[in-house]
């Protein structure tokens, strides 16, 4: 069940600062555990404000030169990084699998997604469009151009580590910024190997600095540092609020992609087999560790009992482990495991019914890792903790709805608004839901996840602060628009 890992990386993971591998200034390290077996996988630099200061100095030194490099040339250099990533796709995927506990098959797919995203943004070096438009004044021409923000602080989550790194690094660099990436503490090796690929591909030293460490030590120092012009953060809503407050005090630009409690509506005319397939994938793939996971399954009353039986039967057959034949692996760490199980236990005490799962797997194949059985719950109140809190694990709750209107109201009865999905054969329902659901992404007859590189992603309410990444919309995050007015004197021509 737990496959042996071939080591392709150092036992101690350093920072990348100014093109060099450096330990933390303090000399401290922290342990990174393998979530599949609980054993120490490696140790990583436990950085603090001193390391952030060194990274900011290196970034600010080189950024003006990079900004003056034509965007087409910046894109070509990023293309070289993509080729380096593609050449080492198998190795990178092995690192991702080792750090997260997901199967090598899933890790390869994720790495392929990072490559596709890198190709998209490398090409954007040829399309950093501004606008040329008309003026209301004679002999006056108006246009806009894009300019870099400066130094971008990038803070990523561990759930899809190489995709998350690519999601922020590529658009930040193509827009002419220098970047300081705060690696997720649960996936330090993924960030390190990306930094190595970037260096070997010829990225100038200091343009991409990668800092290891804990959020409250290294991440907080990055947010506070006045030399960082932009913070782009993916993670929990609670931490996002803190970042917005701290960075806002110094008027730094802030992009927040936060949590979700995403609804999937199953109507009475849905293809129930297809809907069940997508519920299980959306709720349980990647161990439910997606901001776009489906955790609220809203089912029309007329098909509720039939659909519930089907879901429970299918969920009980899911295989949990790290092999390519398994459906999902462990959650990322022991703290997350405890938080999920604690929330499920409180829901049970409050009257919710556990239909399947709801427990840690403790058989010999799983007992040392951070595995949770696929969990389906019913009778949870829509305003209860488990209905309104993002768990980031393989847990979903089922709810009854009399009709479309009640289903839509339940879907919108959430502090979050990231993604949503409806399963129906009715075109009118599908279109009405797509327009009326309070979410940044609406899907018909598939899952709640599956963003593509060329499309904007983000949410409303507590799921974000209005920015969208990736797609060309991410260029708005990582660049500033400048108006330029040119006045001419035709009589002197």
Please report how the helices 71-87 and 104-123 are oriented relative to each other, as an axis angle in degrees rounded to 10. 160
Q: Hey, how many other C-beta atoms are within 10 angstroms of the C-beta on 485?
A: 10
Structure tokens at 489: 């004197």
Beta-bridge partner residues of 133: 142
Annotated catalytic residue 291? yes
Rounded-to-integer distance, Cα 405 and Cα 428, Å: 13
Structure tokens at 46: 């436990």
Pair 399, 296: CB distance under 8 Å: yes
Check 291, 390, 421, 469 and give the catalytic one. Answer: 291
Annotated catalytic residue 257? yes
b/e per residue 337-376 (b: at least 16 CB within 10 A) = bebbbebbeebbeeebebbbbbebbeeeebeebbbbbbbb
Check 110, 257, 390, 469 and give the catalytic one. Answer: 257
How many alpha carbons fall within 13 Å on the CB side of residue 353?
A: 7
Rounded-to-integer distance, Cα 261 and Cα 370, Å: 22
Sign of CA dihedral 101, 107, 113, 118: positive
List Cβ neighbours of 191 (8 Å cut-off, separation of 6 or more): 156, 161, 165, 181, 183, 184, 210, 212
Beta-bridge partner residues of 12: 43
Annotated catalytic residues are 257, 291
């Amino acid at each position: 069940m737990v496959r042996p890992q071939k080591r392709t990386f150092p036992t101690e993971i350093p920072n990348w600062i100014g093109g060099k591998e450096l330990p933390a200034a303090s000399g401290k390290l922290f342990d990174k555990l393998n979530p599949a077996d609980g054993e120490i996988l490696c140790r990583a630099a436990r950085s603090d404000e001193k390391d952030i200061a060194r990274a900011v100095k290196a970034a600010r030194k080189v950024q003006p030169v990079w900004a003056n490099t034509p965007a087409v040339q910046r894109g070509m250099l990023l293309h070289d990084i993509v080729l380096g990533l593609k050449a080492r796709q198998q190795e990178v995927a092995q690192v991702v699998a080792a750090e997260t506990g997901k199967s090598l098959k899933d890790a390869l797919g994720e790495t392929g997604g990072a490559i596709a995203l890198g190709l998209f943004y490398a090409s954007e070096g040829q399309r950093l469009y501004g606008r040329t438009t008309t003026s209301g004044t004679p002999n006056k021409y108006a246009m806009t151009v894009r300019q870099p923000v400066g130094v971008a602080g990038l803070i990523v989550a561990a759930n899809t580590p190489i995709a998350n790194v690519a999601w922020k690094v590529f658009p930040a660099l193509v827009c002419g910024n220098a970047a300081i990436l705060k690696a997720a503490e649960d996936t330090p090796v993924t960030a390190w190997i990306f930094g190595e690929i970037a260096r070997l591909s010829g990225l100038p030293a200091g343009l991409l600095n990668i800092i290891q460490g804990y959020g409250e030590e290294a991440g907080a120092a990055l947010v506070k540092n006045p030399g960082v012009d932009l913070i782009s953060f993916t993670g929990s809503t609670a931490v996002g609020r803190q970042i917005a407050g701290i960075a806002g005090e110094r008027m730094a630009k802030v992009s927040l992609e936060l949590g979700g409690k995403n609804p999937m509506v199953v109507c009475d005319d849905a293809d129930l087999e297809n809907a069940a397939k997508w519920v299980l994938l959306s709720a349980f793939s990647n161990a439910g560790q997606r901001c776009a996971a489906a955790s609220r399954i809203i089912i029309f009353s007329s098909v509720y009992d039939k659909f519930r039986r089907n879901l429970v039967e299918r969920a009980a057959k899911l295989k949990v482990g790290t092999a390519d034949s398994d459906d999902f692996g462990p959650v990322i760490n022991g703290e997350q495991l405890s938080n999920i199980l604690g929330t499920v236990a409180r829901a049970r005490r409050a009257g919710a019914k556990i239909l399947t799962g709801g427990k840690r797997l403790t058989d010999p194949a799983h007992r040392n890792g951070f595995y949770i059985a696929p969990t389906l719950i019913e009778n949870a109140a829509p305003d209860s903790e488990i209905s309104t809190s993002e768990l980031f694990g393989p847990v979903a709750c089922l709810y009854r709805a009399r009709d479309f209107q009640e289903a839509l109201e339940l879907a919108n009865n959430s502090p979050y608004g990231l993604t949503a999905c409806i399963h129906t054969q009715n075109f009118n329902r599908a279109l009405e839901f797509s327009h009326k659901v309070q979410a940044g992404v609406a899907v018909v007859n598939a899952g709640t996840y599956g963003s593509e590189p060329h499309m904007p992603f983000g949410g409303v309410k507590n799921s974000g602060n209005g920015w969208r990444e990736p797609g060309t919309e991410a260029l708005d995050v990582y660049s500033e628009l400048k108006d330029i007015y040119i006045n001419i004197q035709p009589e002197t021509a």
